[in-house]
Amino acid sequence: MRATCATIHLDALRSNLAQLRGHAPGARVMAVVKADGYGHGLERVARALAAADAFGVASIADGLRLRAAGTHQRIVVLSGPDEPGDLAELRRLRLDAVIHHEAQLDLLAADTDPRPLRVWLKLDSGMHRLGFPAARAREVHARLRALPGVDPDIVLMTHFANSDVFDDAMTARQIECFRAATAGLGGATSLANSAAILGWPAAHGDWLRAGGALYGMSVVEGRNGVDFGLHPAMTLTTRLVAINRVHKGESIGYAASWQAPQDMDIGVAAIGYGDGYPRSARAGTPVLLGGRRAQLVGRVSMDLITIDLRDHADARVGDPVVLWGQGLAVEEVAAHAGTIAYELTCGVTRRVLFAEDDRAA
């Protein structure tokens, strides 16, 4: 078997949920578990986050998986229905639907099922992706409340474009836009994603939508989840499978992109982009070898990476290598690869073994 393993720290998930609740004690928390729980495993994450008030998913199919696993909380399909048959399935599975487009209003207006469907009305306050224009908030809200197949207790929501910048004028404008558009409508509100939970108290509202922060990740530039009191929920590991001596001037890996500056040992570890480790990771990207830092050299290949062992004279074949997680922030690795932490955890592939760790974070 390949030595690659993603260990999911269940208590870290629970600890992160509690930490986020502490930022807005009066609010309820939707745990966003789309993309298979940000790569951590949908059902596994939902079990660990049983204290969440609701779960957010990207599709009805994910809602089905959660119900089959015994999840009883509210489950919100964040993109809502796409076709008439979706409405019956939403009701059968007791799923909430986000309504963000005129076509969805038409589906609901043509629906003859009188069973009330719980909906969240999404308004565009400046993200310009999904949502009704904020100026239409009252009109659309009234249309939804007039439909017999819609639960009149409608949650009002929006999404931020740049909330990971804590002094950003755009987010302040979005908050004001949303507040003005929904004034007097009543009902619960939901504005804050992970970054806004951490850095925008004015956006907390009645429902927090916690995503990456639940998994111990930050999208705030230059800061890691641990800076906010969060714990990494995934540690990705492998082992050294070879140690080779190379001479000064010899190149390492595909395209001969890195040359040895001196006679030295190179470690080869069993992980690559076939496992979800980013091919874009540059020479100098950190790993932990035997608990101490080392650096990538050469290109990441499908199955293997190569590691500079000049500061690891005691390295041996079989030694553990941590790619990210406990002791090495995934955000730091992502920065070296020109991406964000979310993409790395979501990209771990099926050939990686998953294990669970339930020790205290």
Residue 5, CA distances (Å) to 36, 97, 302, 303, 356 in order? 17, 36, 16, 14, 10
Per-residue pLDDT at 2: 81
Per-residue pLDDT at 202: 97
Per-residue pLDDT at 219: 82
Per-residue pLDDT at 76: 98
Q: What is the CATH number of domain 10-219?
A: 3.20.20.10
Domain with CATH 3.20.20.10 in the chain: 10-219
Per-residue pLDDT at 221: 86
Per-residue pLDDT at 359: 83
Domain with CATH 2.40.37.10 in the chain: 234-357
Question: Tens digits of per-residue pLDDT, 177-223?
Answer: 999 999 999 999 999 999 999 999 999 999 999 999 999 999 888 89
Q: Which residue has the tokens 């800076």?
A: 227
Hey, which residues are catalytic here?
A: 34, 254
Token pair of 348 as six digits: 């771990």
d(CA 125, CA 134): 6
Q: Which parts of the chain register pLDDT below 70?
A: 1, 361
**H/E run at residue 238:** strand 234-246
**H/E run at residue 77:** strand 74-77
Token pair of 332 as six digits: 């730091």
Per-residue pLDDT at 361: 62
Fold of 234-357: Lyase, Ornithine Decarboxylase; Chain A, domain 1 (2.40.37)
Residue 192, CA distances (Å) to 13, 197, 277, 311, 322 in order? 19, 6, 30, 44, 32
3-state secondary structure 193-251: CHHHHHHCHHHCCCEEEECHHHHCCCCCCCCCHHHHCCCCCEEEEEEEEEEEEECCCCE
Note whether 120 and 157 are within 8 A (CB): yes
Listed residue (229, 198, 194, 227) closest to 213, CA to CA: 194
